[in-house]
Amino acid sequence: MSINAAIGLWRQLAPSEIEMCEERHRSNIQSYNNLMERLNSLLNNDKLTWGQQKIAMSFMGLILQKQVPIPLSCIRTFVNFTVHDNIELRKYAVIGVTALCRLQKPPRIYMEKSIDEILRHVRQHSPIIIDEKCYPGDREDNLWVTINNYKPPDIQIEWEQTCFLDKPFHGYYKWPNVIKYCMNKRVRYTRDTMPEQVAILYDRFIDKNFVIQLAQSSIFEEDEGDIDFSKNRFQMYKSLFRNFGLVFVENFMEQLYALIRETTSEKQNGSHRVAAEITAGMIRGSKYWTLEMV
């Protein structure tokens, strides 16, 4: 009975059924866009209370998806609300910008190498085999995954060929036949090639005045006496530096120097916290920068 039911479900659709599915798909996309536009419209008028705005902002962030292009007006709202007067709305906007950057993330470039190729590159010995098994623990062949007299390469080609593993399970017991890893470079947006959705973020964060406003609004974002490092803001900065590389570094470096040198007692702790978030995001976002960028 179950087999017959499965056969019925997996049969080839008739042309009329395919057309019906396509029509339903178009209708769903239109409904999604209408919902996003409606939420965005409500956020940008003065009819909602701050609590209702908070609900609308969080809901709009939850329904972001990669399969359907996000309305440009919604992207502008997320970016603009990162410097909103309301602290709660700023926090949701930061999460939204991080999600947008993740959806817009350029693809990574992967390589596959055998363990012998990698060991030859790092001038390490082959795995030590005992009774046809590689014994677990620290061995000469897995020292290269630690900081074992590591010397960074001098040219980009060597930098790209260097295999950095972030998988702690590789090499302790045994090595896989082939290791797949990311090259130390990735495709990045340029001003001439970026789509309009990406250009909205670029145009805002390339503006020095906007970066100043963003940094200053973040100083007093926590409760008095609470200077906890914000994971959400760190992730936003990380995403920006990952997607855009060095483009925003100059603007943020100017703010870093200003934040670090802040001497006003009321702002000093908050300034140092924001500086730490930006610095951590910059370091983490540089993971796949080229040797020249590093």
pLDDT digits (tens, 9 = 90+) for 36-53: 999 999 998 878 888 899
Can you give the pLDDT at residue 231?
Answer: 92
Q: Decide: helix, strand or coil at residue 236.
A: helix
Helical H segments across the chain, by residue range: 2-9, 15-43, 50-62, 72-80, 87-103, 115-121, 156-161, 196-205, 208-219, 231-244, 249-260, 265-285
Q: Is the pLDDT of residue 180 over 80?
A: yes
pTM equals 0.82
Confidence tier at 154 by pLDDT (50, 70, 90)? confident
The whole-angstrom separation of Cα 124 and Cα 150 is: 12
Length of the chain: 294
Residue 113 confidence (pLDDT): 82
- Which range among 23-27, 85-89, 141-145 shows the weakest confidence by mean pLDDT? 141-145
Q: Is the pLDDT assigned to residue 8 strictly greater than 60?
A: yes
For the record, the structure tokens of 32 come out as 């999604």
pLDDT of residue 103: 92
Cα dihedral 230, 231, 234, 240 sign: negative
Q: Domain coordinates of the chain in residue numbers? A: 1-103, 108-186, 189-294
**Which is more confident, 269 or 144?**
269
Provide the percentage of residues in the chain whose pLDDT is more than 70: 85
